[in-house]
Amino acid sequence: MKVKVGLVKCNTYDSKELDTAIEKAMTLSGGIDVKGKKLLLKPNILSDSDPAKALSTHPEFVRSVIKYMQKAGASEIYVGDSPGFQKPGYTGRKSGIRQVTEETGSIWVDFTKETSILKTENAKLAKEFKVPSVLNEVDMVISLPKMKTHQLMYFTGAVKNLFGLVPGLGKSKYHVTYPNRHNFGEMLLDLLEAVKPAYSIMDGVIGMEGPGPGNGYPRPVKLILASPNAVALDTIASSIIGYDPMQIPTNKLALKRDLGVNHLSDISVEGLKVKDVKIDDYRLIKSKIFQNVIFDLFHFSVFEKFQQKMKPKPYFIEEKCIKCGECIKICASDANWFEQGPNGKFVAVDYNKCIRCYCCHEICPVDAIEIRK
Ligand code: SF4
Ligand code: SF4
């Protein structure tokens, strides 16, 4: 049987339009029985920033999903995320998602407070993950990704969104252990297998293009996608914004694993047609196809090191930098530090140590880090 992806139009974050579009996307994609179930909704909150920046799932989108799940009979709804550089006690207030959670009678969860270990038998690389304990209490996890570009993985959607379940800076160790796109992608699929999200609903009303996930530009896409299969959803969403979906490591690697989609023809798009909504000028992260092909053939460490060095580097722009130190705190490779220069301190970097994870770029609050050759 084919895996369904519901694809519907939604022009704005107006609540009436959102409610109708989310219900339609859910119905088209087969829906889910949440009656009497405890749910964890996992929006993508990259940082506590204004919703207009399109860094995070829009709070009104989260509100509409909560309303839909409540109407469908969910017994309890938890909402949370753990952006990489936020400390314990992160409130999610500036993103507006905390307020929506409280206003709808749902429960906000601080992922760093109580944690447990989640294991998976089917892992290729990462057999266990430290996750918030709320995962043991809920019956279902629902991924609510934002449609965005991503420097490391080219695209971030329903699969990558689950990485936010790993509390705070705990994410950094995965960047160090799995520094290249192939292994990082396999690790994300291990997490997908461990969490087994019951459904994914993507906020593509306003996506992010250009240097995402933290420094891109809002781009109205006016779409909502829903699917019981995160890989199917990402495959369709990435092709809508102009990628060959097989350029996205998690999509490509997933086809070789038993994750419900073994071939693109296993996916059936319901509602709108992809060809009618495809965008041909979405600003994408360029994929190094030649490097990817070579790397697929040789995964050994000498080549890995060489490949790492060929990747674009983070450049720290002194004039823009406000010396907050977040990029230094998050760097798991100890590749950057403050140094004293003639105009005060600046961020220095050792490119031999830098693993090109781009976490610094992701978290810089003032767009003072450029990724280029
Ligand atoms: S995160 Fe950005 S602003 Fe803060 S120290 Fe690093 S480069 Fe400067
Ligand atoms: S300097 Fe930036 S890109 Fe390089 S390893 Fe550190 S966080 Fe990652």
From first to last of the 373 residues of the chain, give the pLDDT tens digit. Answer: 899 999 999 999 999 999 999 999 999 999 999 999 999 999 999 877 789 999 999 999 999 999 999 999 999 999 999 876 566 677 788 899 999 999 999 999 999 889 999 999 889 999 999 999 999 999 999 999 999 999 889 999 999 999 999 988 788 889 889 988 899 999 999 999 999 999 999 999 999 999 888 889 999 999 999 999 999 999 999 999 999 999 999 999 999 998 999 999 999 999 999 999 999 999 999 765 545 555 555 554 555 666 667 788 999 999 999 999 989 988 888 999 999 998 899 999 999 999 888 889 888 888 899 988 8
Beta-bridge partners for 254: none
Domains 3-277 and 312-372 share a fold: no
Name every residue whose Cβ is closer than 8 Å to that of residue 298 and which is 6 or more positions away in sequence.
none
Q: From ligand 1's centre to the CA of 55, what distance in Å?
A: 18
Amino acid at 4: K
User: Which runs of consecutive H residues, i.e. helices, occur in the chain?
Assistant: 15-28, 59-71, 97-103, 134-137, 158-161, 172-177, 181-195, 230-240, 249-254, 274-277, 289-297, 301-310, 326-330, 359-363
Which CATH fold would you assign to the domain 312-372?
A: Alpha-Beta Plaits (3.30.70)
* Ligand with the closest atom to the CA of 84: 2
Residue 163 CA to residue 171 CA, distance in Å, equals: 8
356 lines ligand 2 (CB under 6 A): yes
Q: What pLDDT, on a 0 to 100 scale, did the predictor assign at position 96?
A: 94
Domain ranges of the chain: 3-277, 312-372
Question: What is the chain's Cα-based Rg?
Answer: 20
Ligand 1 is surrounded, with C-beta below 6 A, by 316, 321-327, 347, 364, 366, 368-369
DSSP 284: P
Q: From ligand 2's centre to the CA of 162, what distance in Å?
A: 21
Q: What is the largest CA-CA distance in the chain?
A: 66
Residue 115 CA to residue 327 CA, distance in Å, equals: 25
224 lines ligand 2 (CB under 6 A): no
Q: Are 168 and 112 in contact (CB under 8 A)?
A: yes
Specify the CATH number of the domain 3-277.
Answer: 3.40.50.11440
Q: Which residue has the tokens 């997490």?
A: 191
Q: From ligand 1's centre to the CA of 89, what distance in Å?
A: 22
364 lines ligand 2 (CB under 6 A): no
Q: Which two tokens stand for residue 90?
A: 């992160």
